[in-house]
Chains A and B, each alone.
Chain A
């Protein structure tokens, strides 16, 4: 059998297979019928044979390239991973995610120490000795923060037109998402560089946030400030630590690959790390919503403390107990 007779003989099968492929990619929502799938599988194996034969008997590069393309397309659709289903979403949120998180709790703990350690240290230090604040932030920045939480400015904002106020908050919502989620994801991704970027981001954010907190408390804005941050802080601060932990996972995979090569360990552990970081991103979106619309709302501070504390409890319980058998 030479190339020509071979091609004449096999062409109908190849054409049929191409048609099935085209049909499959066109109607992705409506999978092929039972007999069609059977036919697809048969033809696919036949084509694999054809390709092997063309190769071993060197029947020509053009034919080989054609069959190679056809078989690889078949391979792609045959071994395609199933589409991510919405019904699995809840399972992911309430079972899979917290379990994955707990499996790697040591990284989270490390990130918590790296973030909250400097946070509380600088908070306490600055509250005792406010003049040190200018070593961390410029006088302008401190002044700005101080004005923001002064009784007058909060009064002023609340007394403004309700529509304008709502709009301002919507604007801030966008800003929080853009800024905070971006920071968290960079903290995570930066872990690839041996965790250096992650550690740096955690430390510097901890120091800056601690400084601002200490400074505002020493200025006497304590109540206004704490009632503002307690609610969204539950999600926001935890999420930053979670994203940091995921980044540390990547860094650890690079520094201590164990029996694998650096790359393989990055790939293996990166799957869970990515999952964890994505959860942190979602938490930050929730935090952005709270920060934009709930935290500045004109509600007695007691309610905010109650709400804020329960949110902290929810976050802690969710991460610790959700999905436990």
Chain B
């Protein structure tokens, strides 16, 4: 017990020597970065007041429901032993007021039922999980934060850079939004896409960052409709076509730029597609530029695409 406490005291002490100040003037952002001992920087997403208020309301609902059930039970019990029932009920009210959050957050890795539902978690500023002491600390100070109407807590949250209420500030904790852990999968549509015949390209090979951008874009393709998707991919498609001195169907680049970059992606993502690269003449700069002038906006918007058309060029 003591070991844990002195350890966290030392942490805060050593932290005080750094210039780390949550009130430091910085642009408002939900991103919170921590450098670990492995010198890798971890990013967390802070939870703002609105989502935390919702978690609070869910917890309040649960607490009220339990109180109601217990109250009814005690009323029945109260017929026989009125004072014992009242005493038990008051003990529950005490636990409800002072213990609910401290116990849940201390023993359930910084979450309460409400926080679980909203995907929130309390962690230490250093990225560690909180222990029972920190949970007790931040939730005892809740008494100050919550009177009246959580106004002190709200003001503290807006003044601190990490949305910390007074209890968070004293315990050195932050509330984060947990992101789902899922390995990004390649868009399924890529299976159906043919690589560009290498005869239509020159020796230019896009770097992996360009390919990664295309990959990211394609995996989020569903967020926009096809017209917008093509519109967004057009600058990149034209630039790539220019660098490749693309000799295939110019209509592909003009009308279906998203399909074009998808095909580029597929071509270069599979090593077997481009390792046997045939000989080409070196790229010359100006003749390709004239070939792929940006298409006027209306042309793209007027075209009516559907998925199969766009991807089975």
Contact = CB atoms under 8 A, between A and B. Distances in A.
Nearest to B183: A66
A239 interface: no
A91 B2 contact: yes
B127 A76 contact: yes
A61 B38 CA distance: 21
A52 interface: yes
Given A170-B83, A185-B143, A263-B169, A82 B12 contact: no
A190 B4 CA distance: 25
A173 interface: yes
B58 interface: no
A81 B183 contact: no
Contact of B129 (A18, A76, A92): A76
A63 interface: yes
B172 to A, nearest CB: 5
B118 to A, nearest CB: 17
A66 B181 contact: yes
B9 A271 contact: yes
Nearest to B7: A81
A110 B157 CA distance: 32
Nearest to B186: A4
A167 interface: yes
Given A57-B208, A92-B1, A266-B170, A189 B144 contact: yes
A48 B40 contact: yes
Contact of B143 (A169, A174, A186): A186
A252 B21 CA distance: 20
A265 B171 CA distance: 11
Interface in B114-153: 123, 127-129, 131-133, 136-137, 140-144
Interface stretch (B192-200, B236-244, B256-264, B265-273): B265-273
Contacts of B143: 185-186, 189-190
B312 interface: no
B40 A52 contact: yes
Contacts of A89: 1
A281 to B, nearest CB: 8
Contacts of B7: 81
B56 interface: no
Interface stretch (B84-92, B222-230, B246-254, B275-283): B84-92
Interface string B31-49: 0000010111111100000
Most chain A CB within 10 A, of B22, B23, B208, is at B208
Interface residues of B, number: 76
A69 B170 contact: no
A274 B84 contact: no
A274 B181 contact: no
Contacts of B171: 267, 270
* Residue from B22, B85, B123, B181 having most chain A Cβ neighbours under 10 A: B181
Contact of B136 (A51, A60, A75, A278): A278
Interface stretch (B65-73, B210-218, B293-301): B210-218
B183 A14 contact: yes
A272 B142 CA distance: 18
Nearest to B98: A185
A274 B98 contact: no
Interface string B82-108: 111111111101100110000000000
A178 B93 contact: yes
A71 B38 CA distance: 11
A260 B20 CA distance: 11
A57 B208 CA distance: 8
B27 interface: no
B212 A3 contact: yes
B22 to A, nearest CB: 7
A169 B86 CA distance: 11
Interface in A235-289: 250, 260-261, 263-268, 270-272, 274-275, 277-278
Nearest to B13: A268
A37 to B, nearest CB: 16
A202 interface: no
B216 A60 contact: yes
A120 to B, nearest CB: 29
Interface of B: 1-2, 4-5, 7-9, 12-13, 15-16, 21-23, 36, 38-44, 81-91, 93-94, 97-98, 123, 127-129, 131-133, 136-137, 140-144, 166, 169-172, 178-184, 186, 208-209, 211-213, 215-216, 219, 268-271
9 contacts: A11-B183, A45-B38, A55-B41, A69-B178, A70-B181, A84-B4, A91-B1, A170-B83, A260-B16
6 nearest CB pairs, A to B: A174-B87, A171-B83, A174-B90, A62-B184, A171-B87, A264-B16
